[in-house]
Structures are given as C-alpha cells and as structure tokens.
Chains A and B, each alone.
Chain A
Amino acid sequence: MKPLVLTLRHEPQQRLDLSPLVPDRLIRRTAKEIEALDIGTTRIALKVGDMFKVRLGDANSIRFEGGSERFDQVGAKMLAGGAIHVEGDVGAQAGRAMAGGKLTIAGNAGPFAASALAGGEVEIGGDVGDFLGGPLAGEIPGMAGGRVIVRGNAGARAGDRLRRGVIIIEGDAGEDVGSRLIAGTMIVLGAIEGRPGYLMKRGTIALAQTPELGPTFVDCGAFHFGFARVYARSLAAESRGAARLLGQKLRRYAGDTAVYGKGEILTPA
C-alpha cells in the first residue's frame, strides 16, 4: 500500500512541532482531520493543512515530501511498526524518545536528534547537530535503546549519556563524542575532536581513527573481540564501514578512569 504523503507547500515561517504526525496518531483519520491538527509553536496558529498537502495512504508509513530546518520533533514517540521518511532536512529532536519503528531522513538533522531514543531505528543521510541521542536539559539518561546511523558528520557530544543501543557515525564526530556514556555502543568512522569518552562509566566507543586519549584511558592491549565480530555481522547490512572496523583486531583503552572506568575505547590495532 502507498504511504501517507505530506507535501510541503512552502518554507515555514515559524518552527513546527511535528510530533503529532506519527503513524499511531494518524491511523484511521481522514485527510480533513489530519489537516486540522495543530503544528504551530508561536502565537500565530498553524494547521497541518496550512503547511502540507495531504495525500492519504497507509498511515503506518508516512512520507514528508520536502523538509526544513524548522521541522522539529519529527517522529517523536513513534511506536513499533511505524515508518517515517523525510525527503529533506529536519530540525531539532528528530525521533525524540521513539519507542520503535523506523525514521529515515534524507537530509540533515538539527540538535538532539534521536534524543532519549528507546527503540527502533533512526537513519540520517546527512549531518546532525549537537547532542545526538543525548538527554534534554534536566533528564538523566540519554538514549536507552535502538539504533542510530548518521551517514554524514555529527556535532559536539554525540551519544551524550548513552545508556543502551548502538550509534554509528559514518562521518566525523564533533567535540567529546560519547561524553558521560553510561553504557551502550558508539562507532565513529571519521575524524574526532576533543576528548572522546569524556567521563564515560561503561560502554564501548569504537573509533576508526586513533585519537589522542588523555591519561585517564589506559592501554589494555590488542585483541580479536568475539562480541565485536557478532556486532560486525549484525551491522554489515546497514554500515559496511562499521562492520569492517569491528571485524578487525582492536586495541582496547579502558576508561574513563576519572570516573567508574569500566568503559572502553577501541581503535584498530
């Protein structure tokens, strides 16, 4: 069945809250009902119908034709079984607290993409802003499950307070990737800046390029890790680069010993 298509009429004049436009909230709704949903965030009221041309289809799969840096909270709290595709850019908090389903963004995403993700898959074709997967101000854990793949570059502090799940950044990562990591797995194929794994407690950060690590990360030698091979097999379809990195002999740096110190940074040996 064809997806439900929302075609952007023109560049929005204000930031949009697109969190109502998820499959579980649109299923069995008429085009008129969908067009009447509120998506504005300022004093000027804004309905879906003002911004999008709605073409009904199987609401389990939603397609945005056209995107904008002002599209906030796309796919937020999506449940398992849903799918959203954005043919364009999105703004902040894309896939925020998603429980399941699949969100694909062809363009770039803003800050806090996949923030506090709990399940499902998020794939971003372009770059992402700061705090990929991270918690919002005041929240304690960040991403708690699911899988995120960024084909481009990520901003600062990607994977902040990651607790469970896998984040793959195929391009470069900004400053302090994997900061305050609680657990989980991060993979960066490009260059990195700053202090990777700053204050990480547990978890794994695999880096294709060997960075300068501070004295709180301690060299534990190079091995063929069994778990890395299992991950390599599982991730091969989605990211061949990640699979290649994990399939090889890896040097293990344990840390961050400034805190709990049960985490690790893995780099090609």
Chain B
Amino acid sequence: MPQLIRKGVRIDDSFAEAFPMSGTGVVITAPTRKWALQAAHTMTGFATSVIGCGCEAGVDLELSARETPDGRPGVRVLLFAMSQKDAEKQLVNRLGQCVLTCPGTAVFSALAGEQQIKVGDAVRQFGDRWQISKRLNGRRYWRIPVMDGEFLCEGTVGLTTKSVGGGNLLVMGEDWTSTMRATEAAVAAMADVADAIAPFPGGVVRSGSKVGSKYKGMGASTNDAYCPTLYGITTSALDPDIGCVLEIVIDGLTEQAVADAMRAGLKAIVALGPKHGAKRVGAGNYGGKLGPFHYHLKDLLP
C-alpha cells in the first residue's frame, strides 16, 4: 500500500467508505451532571452497531447549564439508524426505558432536521391522562407525572436523512498499550467535534470485520488481513512492526462532521508520534462500490 509519512507515522493512501443514515438526537438534562450522563450512557449502552443493536448511538457533547433549554447540566446524544422508521423506534424505546426511568431527567430535541419524529407525543401516554401539554415558541412539551416530580419531554425531535455512518480510522501500533494510547488520544480529540459520535465501547472497536465468512449464513467475520496473530499465515495487510490494530468508527449528522472528526483524530495520532503511539494509520473500505461517501486520509492530514 502506498503511504505518506507524517512525523514518522505512516498514513495509508486509502479511504474510509461511509453510508447514508438517518440521524436524530436529544439533549438530556438533569439536576446534576452525573444523572444526565447516567441517562445518556444507559440509553446509548447497547448501541454500537446497527447490525445487532438496531441503531448506533453515543454522547456527542456535554452541555453546561447555560447551554441547555432548562438551565441544568445536559448531554447531547445522537442516534443513527438505517431508516427513519428504525431511528424512531429505537429512540422511543430507549427514551421510554432508559431516560423516562432515570431520576431527574428531561428531554429536548437536539437538532432541527428536515423531518420530525414523535417522542414525547409517544411517551406521553405513560402519563395515563395526567400528562400535561405545554406549547412554547412553536414547540410542544409534555409534562408526565412520575414519582420524583415530572418528566419533561419535547413532543417531537428532529431527524435528518443526510447523516453519514461508517467513517473510520484503523490505528496500528507495536503493542496494545501504545496503540491504545494513540487511539484514546484520537477519540478524545473527536469528542470535541460537534455532530459526530464514535458508537463503540469508549469509541473503539477491536473486532473489525470483513464481508463474508467460511461458514454458511454468516454475513461478516473477523478481518483476518488486520489480525496480527495471523500475519504470517494469511494475506495480511499489516507490516512486521504492527502488533495491534484498533478501529474508531464515526457517525455524523453531516458529511462534514465525519470529516472533521476524522481530521481531529488523525491530528492527535500524528501529534503523539510513532514512538509512544501508533506507527501506522489506515482506513476501512469495501473497494468504494458500496458507500457513496469516501474519506481519503491524504485529504484529512494535518
């Protein structure tokens, strides 16, 4: 693979291949930052990949009390799915089970979006006719009586079908510790990019997959070309000095947000250098025929 070198880090002349998704999001507030984060983490817990979780979700940004509609600490959560219907179903289920139940929380729409999906307008029935509608500045809020007071939930939240899922970076290093150091630095840098999330645990995935399998009926299986323990025995994409590969997958509300997150991640990895961090960075794609969005690493370099 042809490569560029930045501060000693080898950058593959490759691209990440991404797909259109439906993206939506909510701002969750609570009396304390702790409980806002608790609701956000519970709601986005089992949401790493659309394949098994129905959606991909994560914390976009933490908001200070000054930035939220009700003046309490908040968290902006984004959720992505393959269709508008899936996004709506996942969001309503997760809000109903994870946020309605979480003490002190309130929910607001996180984006305008070209579509509106019903959230409070669905959850309201939990109020058993004790729920109260309040309209302010063209937005409807539902007040649902619960055991710690009231759950306040906006009637609808915005959804955009112009979201992008599947932006990624493959971080390759000598061992687990140094590779993880570079990966964590990249994830931390991406956390500051608005409108983008890394849905996997801590933003990182170690089980990258390829299309197809030797077993019948399995659509995807381990990406042996990037498994360091198979370096000698399979057609490997790795080099002799690579002992660990970690991937960061990025979903964003816009094509730009994904590019910005990848750029921020690359910058952090390069800044760390090959001695303590990653020796090489690549990107995953399927040959460019499946996804309409191509993020070439060479365009995103610092």
A interface residues with partner B (beta carbon < 8 Å): 145, 164-166, 183, 185, 202, 204, 223-227, 229-234, 247, 262
Residue interface mask B68-81, A partner, CB < 8 A = 1: 01111000000000
Known: A164-B135, A185-B134, A262-B132. A227 touches B141 (CB 8 A): yes
Contact between chains at A226 and B150 (CB < 8 Å)? yes
Known: A223-B149, A223-B150. A229 touches B136 (CB 8 A): no
Task: Please give, as numbers and ranges, the residues of chain A lying within 8 Å of B151 by CB-CB distance.
Answer: 226
Contact between chains at A229 and B132 (CB < 8 Å)? no
Q: Across the two chains, which residue of chain B brings its CB closest to A231?
A: B136
Task: Please give, as numbers and ranges, the residues of chain A lying within 8 Å of B70 by CB-CB distance.
Answer: 226, 229-230, 233
Q: Across the two chains, which residue of chain A brings its CB closest to B107?
A: A226
B137 at the A interface (CB under 8 A): yes
Task: Please give, as numbers and ranges, the residues of chain A lying within 8 Å of B42 by CB-CB distance.
Answer: none
> Closest CB-CB distance, B289 to chain A, in whole Å?
48
Bound Cα distance from A262 to B143, whole angstroms: 12
B249 at the A interface (CB under 8 A): no
Task: Please give, as numbers and ranges, the residues of chain B lying within 8 Å of A164 by CB-CB distance.
Answer: 135
Bound Cα distance from A58 to B150, whole angstroms: 47
The B interface is mostly helix, strand or loop, or mixed, namely strand
Task: Please give, as numbers and ranges, the residues of chain A lying within 8 Å of B150 by CB-CB distance.
Answer: 223, 225-227
B133 at the A interface (CB under 8 A): yes
Contact between chains at B132 and A202 (CB < 8 Å)? yes
Contact between chains at B133 and A230 (CB < 8 Å)? no
B87 at the A interface (CB under 8 A): no
Interface residues of B in 186-207 (CB under 8 A from A): none
Interface residues of B in 130-147 (CB under 8 A from A): 130, 132-137, 141, 143
Task: Please give, as numbers and ranges, the residues of chain B lying within 8 Å of A247 by CB-CB distance.
Answer: 71
> Closest CB-CB distance, A184 to chain B, in whole Å?
8
Contact between chains at A227 and B134 (CB < 8 Å)? yes
Contact between chains at A230 and B72 (CB < 8 Å)? no
Bound Cα distance from A233 to B137, whole angstroms: 12
B159 at the A interface (CB under 8 A): no
Q: Across the two chains, which residue of chain B brings its CB closest to A225?
A: B150
The one of A202, A223, A226, A234 in contact with B136, judged by C-beta atoms closer than 8 angstroms, is: A234
Bound Cα distance from A165 to B135, whole angstroms: 7
Task: Please give, as numbers and ranges, the residues of chain A lying within 8 Å of B143 by CB-CB distance.
Answer: 225-227
Q: Across the two chains, which residue of chain A brings its CB closest to B154?
A: A230
Bound Cα distance from A90 to B151, whole angstroms: 43
Contact between chains at A183 and B133 (CB < 8 Å)? yes
Bound Cα distance from A234 to B133, whole angstroms: 17
Task: Please give, as numbers and ranges, the residues of chain A lying within 8 Å of B137 by CB-CB distance.
Answer: 234
Interface residues of B in 216-269 (CB under 8 A from A): none
Q: Across the two chains, which residue of chain A brings its CB closest to B129?
A: A262
> Closest CB-CB distance, A8 to chain B, in whole Å?
35
B106 at the A interface (CB under 8 A): yes
Bound Cα distance from A195 to B22, whole angstroms: 52
Q: Across the two chains, which residue of chain B brings its CB closest to A164?
A: B135
B152 at the A interface (CB under 8 A): yes
Task: Please give, as numbers and ranges, the residues of chain A lying within 8 Å of B72 by CB-CB distance.
Answer: 229
Contact between chains at B132 and A230 (CB < 8 Å)? no
Interface centre among B106, B134, B137, B151 (most CB of A within 10 A): B134
Bound Cα distance from A202 to B135, whole angstroms: 13
CB-defined A-B contacts under 8 Å, sample of 16:
A145-B135, A166-B136, A202-B132, A204-B134, A223-B149, A226-B149, A226-B151, A227-B132, A227-B141, A227-B143, A230-B69, A230-B152, A232-B71, A233-B69, A233-B70, A234-B136
Bound Cα distance from A234 to B132, whole angstroms: 19
Task: Please give, as numbers and ranges, the residues of chain B lying within 8 Å of A225 by CB-CB distance.
Answer: 143, 149-150
Q: Across the two chains, which residue of chain A brings its CB closest to B151?
A: A226
Contact between chains at B71 and A229 (CB < 8 Å)? yes
Task: Please give, as numbers and ranges, the residues of chain B lying within 8 Å of A226 by CB-CB distance.
Answer: 70, 106, 143, 149-152
Contact between chains at B149 and A230 (CB < 8 Å)? no
Q: Across the two chains, which residue of chain B brings its CB closest to A262?
A: B132
Task: Please give, as numbers and ranges, the residues of chain B lying within 8 Å of A145 by CB-CB distance.
Answer: 135
Bound Cα distance from A226 to B30, whole angstroms: 10
Bound Cα distance from A165 to B132, whole angstroms: 14
Q: Across the two chains, which residue of chain B brings its CB closest to A145?
A: B135
Q: Across the two chains, which residue of chain B brings its CB closest to A184?
A: B135
